Amino acid sequence: MNWEIEKELEEIRDAGLFREVRALESPQGAAVRRGGLELVNFSSNDYLGLAASRELEDALKEGVERFGAGAGASRLVCGSLTPHEELEAEIAAFKRSEAALSFSSGYAVALGVIPALVGKDDVIILDKLCHASLVDAARLSGATVRVFPHNHLDKLERLLRGARDDGAVGRVLVITESIFSMDGDAAALRDIVELKDRCGAWLLLDEAHAIGLMGPNGRGLAAQLGLEGRVELQMGTLSKAVGLGGGYLAASRQVISLLVNKARSFIYSTAPPPAVAFAACESLRLIQGTAGDALRHALRRNIDCWQSATGTSSAGAIFPVIVGDESSAVALSRRLLDEGFLVPAIRYPTVARGSARLRVTLSASHELVQIEALAMRLRQAMAELS
Ligand SMILES: *Cc1c(COP(=O)(O)O)cnc(C)c1O
């Protein structure tokens, strides 16, 4: 058994795809300590710098004082603690939806929601670059899965028409993301909404990398484009800009009620600690207020700085630096690590083979000098590599 596994590990190593977990010795932030080294951190999705903020720390403490540590059971078994109810009301207001349901992670949202809403008589049409959670959930649902090349509207339209012509009697669900997690660009959302409406399909939009940073009051890309009312299923995570952990789906009352009855990752999983829900509610209020505006302003300044220093652009705060070869991407990342910068190499299977890259993410808590320094070192390291 172990011998066989060792062989499999060897193959992963030989392909330059080996991964391991490394301990972080400090809280999350623009500067972190790892392996005894002080590093400037360009690897997290803590876009607003809230993960280690005093505000959320205080909110968590208050949540623990008022509601204790653990939730004890699934929300359907023991009763649902008030912070979860309040969080869901806050999310629904934030997303301008009738209702919302929270989950223990964004991954659990996808796995619970998609199989609850579509099954073997239905068709899912998904963007090729969709996150693993969406792909896994689509497969798990048993629906027929069709994939369109990233943002390829003609192909999407053909698949939408094809789903109807194939005599699909059931539902047709289009799935895409606001900001793509490894490419940093945005969905062609306006066109996708037009197309799915014309063909009578539904849309699930994963706003994982847009919530908190895009749109009015950080309400996301759909809100920015005035399309919230036309996206049936608005998904997001509380683990990135919101700074905590968990995920949500905002939708109609009927959809949410069906999910309470059918979403297995909701039903068969203990509710997240109530203090986390309490703090997430605080975080959403902060994000929508003047403090959130100030953080978005700082992030915007940092994005502008990176864009002008590198001549690149991005719809959000994710900047891929495409390298191609897996081993070269790892070498480049290691090089930057030696210089004190934490910038992860992203490889297959997270991205396609031969499209390995560095993934630079910016946060409101970075200093301009840190950003300029990385841009300069990256340019030098890339020149040395080639
Ligand atoms: C991170 C991410 C998720 C998963 O969210 P978690 O809360 O981390 O489980 C889902 N979708 C996308 C696009 C993501 O980037």
Q: Say yes or no: 335 and 355 in one domain.
A: yes
Cα–Cα distance for residue pair 302/305, rounded to 1 Å? 5
Phi, psi angles (nearest 5°) of residue 342: -95, 105
Q: Could you give the CA distance from residue 149 to residue 151 in angstroms, rounded to a whole number? A: 6
Of the candidates 206, 209, 155, the one whose C-alpha atom is nearest the C-alpha of residue 181 is: 209
Same domain (yes/no): 35, 102: no
CA distances from 258 to 101, 119, 202 (A): 11, 14, 16
* Residue 2 alpha carbon to ligand 1 centre in Å: 32
Q: Which of 288, 320, 347 is the last residue of a domain?
A: 288
Whether 265 is in the pocket of ligand 1, judged by its Cβ within 6 Å, is no
Whether residues 278 and 316 share a domain: the answer is no
How far away, in angstroms, is 238 Cα from ligand 1 center? 9
Tens digit of pLDDT at every position of the chain (386 positions):
899 999 999 999 988 888 889 899 999 999 999 989 999 999 999 999 999 999 999 999 999 999 999 999 999 988 888 999 999 999 999 999 999 999 999 999 999 999 999 999 999 999 999 999 999 999 999 999 999 999 999 999 999 999 877 666 789 999 999 999 999 999 999 999 999 999 999 999 999 999 999 999 999 999 999 999 999 999 999 999 999 999 999 999 999 999 999 999 999 999 999 999 999 999 999 999 999 999 999 999 999 999 999 999 999 999 999 999 999 999 999 999 999 999 999 999 899 999 999 999 999 999 999 999 999 999 999 998 87
Please check whether residues 340 and 254 belong to one and the same domain: no
Q: Which amino acid is at 347?
A: R
Radius of gyration for the alpha carbons in the chain, expressed in angstroms and rounded: 21
H or E segment to which residue 164 belongs: helix 153-165
Residue 249, in any domain of the structure: yes
Clarify whether residues 204 and 319 are in a common domain: no
Residue 48 lies in a domain: no
d(CA 160, CA 176): 14
Which one, of 352, 351, 375, lies nearest residue 362 by Cα?
375
The verdict on 36 and 9 lying in the same domain is yes
Name which residue sits closest to atom 10 of ligand 1, judged by CA.
106
Element (H, E) at 206: strand 202-206
In this structure, the answer to whether residues 351 and 240 fall within a common structural domain is no
Q: Output the CA torsion sign for 29, 34, 36, 42.
A: negative
Of 133, 177, 179, the one to substitute when testing ligand 1's pocket (max ligand atoms within 8 A of C-beta) is 133
H/E stretch holding 120 reads none
pTM for the whole thing?
0.96
Which residues are the active-site residues? 181, 209, 240
Domain count, the chain: 2
Residue closest via CA to ligand 1's atom 4 equals 106
Query: CB of 49 closer than 6 A to ligand 1?
Result: no
133 lines ligand 1 (CB under 6 A): yes
Give me the domain span that covers residue 163: 54-288
User: Domain of 341: which CATH number?
Assistant: 3.90.1150.10
Same domain, 13 and 31: yes
Phi, psi of 333 (to 5 degrees): -65, -40
Boundary residue ending a domain (288, 311, 345) = 288
Q: Please report the DSSP string for 8-69 in residue order.
A: HHHHHHHTT-------B-S-SSSEEEETTEEEEE-----TTS-TT-HHHHHHHHHHHHHH-S
Whether 125 and 256 map to the same domain: the answer is: yes
CATH of the domain at 114: 3.40.640.10
Size of the chain, expressed as the number of residues it contains: 386
Residue labelled with tokens 């793509």: 180
Q: Are residues 70 and 139 in the same domain?
A: yes
Residue 131: helix, strand or coil by DSSP?
Answer: coil
Q: How far does residue 380's CA lie from ligand 1's centre (Å)?
A: 32
Question: Is the CB–ligand 1 distance for residue 206 below 6 Å?
Answer: yes
Dist. CA 385 → ligand 1 center (Å): 32
Backbone angles phi, psi at 134, to 5 degrees: -75, -40
How many Å lie between the centroid of ligand 1 and the Cα of residue 105? 8
Measured from the CB, is residue 106 less than 6 Å from ligand 1? yes
Closest atom of ligand 1 to CA, residue 238: 7
Q: Is the CB of 144 under 6 A from ligand 1?
A: no
Question: Residue 47: inside a domain, yes or no?
Answer: no
Q: Whose CA is nearest to atom 7 of ligand 1?
A: 106
124 and 210 in a common domain = yes
Q: Which of 131, 177, 185 to mutate to test the pocket of ligand 1 (most atoms within 8 A of CB)?
A: 131
